[in-house]
């Protein structure tokens, strides 16, 4: 009897989560559909991001209906719930915003990547530095050179130059 009650509760919980996934699929599909009206050059970034998101959401929905508890791109979750578990994520988001504000888009993203990979993900220094340099150069080359967009320079760089 108790086992049936627990399994019924688990199934209701999965269906509730499935409705959220279905709602996200609908919203992502609407955004993807609206990106069809954009120009040829400006549409490929939203289409690429939204298509990838839609694929992951469909995989997530398939796993939910199969009864798998683990998410498609799952990250181990601590036992904490509520605002305490969100504080590290909010701190890293604030760190990203602060680094971009102080050092500009390219250098701020690179410094954030370095800090996140080294101190949060626990990667070794060579890997962290390589990814940070790759990200900084990619942002500068793609947006600054290829797309010819003037990137935010930050507060510190104009003072140094």
Domain with 55, as residue range(s), is 2-66
As given in the structure block, the two tokens for residue 158 are 């104009």
Is residue 78 in a domain?
no
State residue 9's pLDDT score: 44
Is residue 71 in a domain?
no
Residue 155 shares a structural domain with residue 89: yes
Is residue 126 in a domain?
yes
Burial tier of 157 (Cβ tally within 10 Å: 0-12, 13-18, 19+): middle
Number of domains the chain contains: 2
Residue 124 shares a structural domain with residue 152: yes
Residue pLDDT, tens place only, 19-36:
888 888 998 898 888 888
pLDDT band at 10 (very low <50, low <70, confident <90, very high): very low
Helix (H, G, I), strand (E, B) or coil at 142: helix
Please give the model's pTM, rounded to 2 decimal places.
0.52
pLDDT band at 73 (very low <50, low <70, confident <90, very high): low
Q: Give whole-number Cα distances, 136 to 92, 100, 107, 109, in Å.
A: 18, 11, 6, 6
As given in the structure block, the two tokens for residue 36 are 């069809």
Is residue 14 in a domain?
yes
Is residue 75 in a domain?
no
**Higher model confidence: residue 111 or residue 48?**
111
């Amino acid at each position: 009897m108790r086992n049936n009650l627990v399994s019924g509760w688990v199934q209701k919980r999965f269906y509730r989560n499935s409705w959220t996934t279905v709602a996200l699929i609908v919203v992502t599909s609407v955004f993807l559909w609206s990106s069809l009206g954009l120009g040829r050059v400006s549409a490929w970034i939203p289409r690429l991001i939204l298509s990838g998101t839609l694929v992951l959401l469909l995989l997530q929905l398939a796993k939910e209906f199969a009864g798998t508890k683990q998410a498609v791109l799952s990250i181990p979750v601590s036992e904490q719930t509520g605002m305490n578990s969100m504080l590290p994520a909010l701190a890293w988001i604030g760190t990203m915003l602060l680094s971009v504000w102080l050092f500009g888009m390219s250098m701020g993203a690179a410094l954030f990547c370095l800090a996140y990979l080294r101190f949060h993900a626990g990667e070794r220094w060579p890997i962290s530095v390589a990814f940070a340099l790759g990200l900084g150069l990619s942002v500068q080359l793609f947006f600054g050179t290829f797309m010819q967009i003037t990137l935010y320079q930050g507060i510190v760089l104009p003072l140094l130059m």
